[in-house]
Chains A and B, each alone.
Chain A
Amino acid sequence: MHVLAIDTSTPVVTAGIVELTTDAVRVTAASTASRTRAHAELLAPEVQNLLRRAPAGIAAIVCGIGPGAFTGLRVGMVTAAALGHALDVPVYPVCTLDAIAALAGPGPFLAATDARRKELYWAVYGVDGARVAGPDVGAPDAVRAVAAEHGITRILGDGVLDGEVLACDPLGLVRAAESAVRANTEPAALTPLYLRRPDAKEPAGRKRVSR
């Protein structure tokens, strides 16, 4: 069975066709888009090319739901949701940090990515690689404290906190959702992990215009 994997929570367009056989998971085609932060433009043509590489069709879609930059994240999610609707296939949500963790081998470790505004997105994974804390967002010192609290020395992600660099990719996305995809279970709701409230301030009292 072939699965389309999409994630747009990072600056690059992550998309690929992943084949699940009885005993293996392998990527058969992956996005080659090189422009960053151009998800709205590039994701659709990439997906169009990828779907041509799966002539027998896809059985499911796996979609990264962040945490990540909001605007880009939404492009991937609305694309996955519309594709799922139009192709009548289930769309499985995956926390983007879980997709990274699925590539990391045995735990324990902490996955962290740049959340901008001098903060990090993070999650903690146990010995079996399952998430035990997070996802959440916090200052680097607070995230270091979380790692220490869990007795973790291995940090991975996009290079923050001097950790190993390991990026979300189609393989990680599908591995993170593998059991649900294989069992064809009802997908969880496709809800983004924003982890932050929208920036908006209620207006203060009226400003005077006359002196």
Chain B
Amino acid sequence: MIILGIESSCDETGVGIAELDADGSVRLLADQVASSVGQHARFGGVVPEIASRAHLEAMRPTMDRALAESRLALSDVDAFAVTRGPGLAGALMVGVGAAKAYALALGKPCYGVNHLAGHVAADTLQHGPLPSPCLALLVSGGHTQLLLVEDLAGKITELGSTIDDAAGEAYDKVARLLELPYPGGPPIDKLAAEGNPEAIAFPRGMTGPRDARHDFSFSGLKTAVARWVERAEVAGETVPAADVAASFQEAVADVLTMKAVRAAREYGIGTLLISGGVAANSRISGLAAQRCAGAGIELRVPRPRLCTDNGAMIAALGAALVHAGVAPTAMDFGADPAMPVELISL
């Protein structure tokens, strides 16, 4: 069966096509993404209206490129899946509108699915079916969550999430402080390679004995970095940007991986999956590998292309739902900007 996935929750318009075999294995046939990231750069963050306009423009060309890559025709598609949430309302509505129209015109089922579950599903395209249970750490510009995945098509539970900024958001804010480009993840990662991660002891948020065990906080860290830089400026010192970047990155990686590995141990889970745009960060994946090896936990990190937002992960989730025999979504569904992760599809 051929499943076409559409993603438009933030600034990437993604169309992915996957083939589901009778045994449940899923093969990626096409993965096309159009990004409006360049249009948001000067604003230091995603501007919802700009993203929504870009989705409308990019939807057809991205669809055409995905179909060409897969060498399939629209009529070959057996089911559609689309991100229904969480994400930016206006952006989501473009993908939802397109998917529903394609499905109804072709008389095929349509699944309105959860973006976060999609990030988990992305890994099945590279490493095959997920063991059950499995722990997933989702880290991106919009999300930071620790998920207990018992069944990709049926049961995902949130163990914890950020109480303020997402990890990727902290990267963007610190990058601005250091006068690095947006998005902040890649330039900080690069600069950090030249710095000393132990130069500055930045705080590890939400790690006190009375803090929620599986929740995260990055707002205080961002402020601590700003204070440190301001103090250095006031004192007339040259800000050691590489050390600041490395020490900041170390604080983020330390908390994320410590909490993920601790949760895996506590729940007796043997597999940790890290996905989302920030999973591509070298220190986060590196430290996770080190700590997982020490704890005897298998680490799965999909390739960067599958970590960032894309339609392939939505197709993969759609395939899992089809294989599990989950009923498709009725045609009157809309976007759900705050869709809870427990709701995998509607």
Residues of A within 8 A of B (CB): 38-45, 47-48, 51, 70-71, 74-83, 85-87, 192, 194, 198-203, 206, 208-210
| Further contacts, 8 of them, CB under 8 A, given A70-B52, A78-B94 | A48-B331, A71-B89, A75-B94, A82-B60, A85-B60, A206-B177, A210-B227, A210-B231
User: Would A41 and B44 be within 8 Å (CB), given that A200-B50, A208-B230, A209-B227 are in contact?
Assistant: no
Q: Across the interface, which residues of A come within 8 angstroms of B94, CB to CB?
A: 74-75, 78
Interface size on B, residues (CB 8 A): 41
Tell me which of A38, A44, A81 contacts B59 (CB under 8 A). A81
Tell me which of B47, B93, B101, B333 contacts A86 (CB under 8 A). B101
A-B interface pairs (CB < 8 A), number? 118
Contact with A along B219-236 (1 / 0, CB 8 A): 000010011001100000
Least distance between B250 CB and chain A CB atoms (Å): 21
Once the chains are docked, how many angstroms separate the CA of A70 from the CA of B93?
11
Q: Mostly helix, strand, loop or mixed at chain A's interface?
A: helix
Chain A residue at minimum C-beta to C-beta distance from B105:
A86
Contact between chains at B101 and A71 (CB < 8 Å):
no
Once the chains are docked, how many angstroms separate the CA of A164 from the CA of B333?
35
Residues of B within 8 A of A (CB): 42-44, 47, 49-50, 52-53, 55-56, 59-60, 63, 74, 89-90, 93-94, 96-102, 104-106, 176-177, 223, 226-227, 230-231, 330-335
Contact between chains at A41 and B332 (CB < 8 Å):
yes
Contact between chains at B43 and A44 (CB < 8 Å):
no
* Nearest 9 A/B pairs, CB to CB: A86-B105, A82-B101, A198-B49, A44-B100, A41-B334, A40-B334, A78-B97, A200-B47, A209-B226
Chain B residue at minimum C-beta to C-beta distance from A72:
B93
Q: Across the interface, which residues of B come within 8 angstroms of A44, CB to CB?
A: 97, 100-101, 104, 331-332
Contact between chains at A86 and B106 (CB < 8 Å):
yes
Contact between chains at B102 and A86 (CB < 8 Å):
yes
Once the chains are docked, how many angstroms separate the CA of A71 from the CA of B55?
12
Least distance between B9 CB and chain A CB atoms (Å): 14
Chain B residue at minimum C-beta to C-beta distance from A48:
B104
User: Would A71 and B52 be within 8 Å (CB), given that A201-B43, A208-B230, A209-B230 are in contact?
Assistant: yes
Once the chains are docked, how many angstroms separate the CA of A70 from the CA of B55?
13
Contact between chains at A47 and B101 (CB < 8 Å):
yes
Q: Across the interface, which residues of A come within 8 angstroms of B52, CB to CB?
A: 70-71, 74
Once the chains are docked, how many angstroms separate the CA of A86 from the CA of B73?
10
Q: Across the interface, which residues of A come within 8 angstroms of B60, CB to CB?
A: 81-82, 85
Once the chains are docked, how many angstroms separate the CA of A50 from the CA of B281?
50
Contact between chains at A79 and B101 (CB < 8 Å):
yes
Q: Across the interface, which residues of A come within 8 angstroms of B227, CB to CB?
A: 209-210
Contact between chains at B223 and A209 (CB < 8 Å):
yes
Once the chains are docked, how many angstroms separate the CA of A192 from the CA of B335?
21
- Which of B49, B59, B100 has its CB near the most chain A CB atoms (within 10 A)? B100
Q: Across the interface, which residues of B come within 8 angstroms of A210, CB to CB?
A: 226-227, 230-231
Chain A residue at minimum C-beta to C-beta distance from B50:
A198
Tell me which of A70, A87, A192, A198 contacts B47 (CB under 8 A). A198
Contact between chains at A200 and B101 (CB < 8 Å):
no
Least distance between A53 CB and chain B CB atoms (Å): 14
Q: Across the interface, which residues of B come within 8 angstroms of A39, CB to CB?
A: 93
Least distance between B346 CB and chain A CB atoms (Å): 11
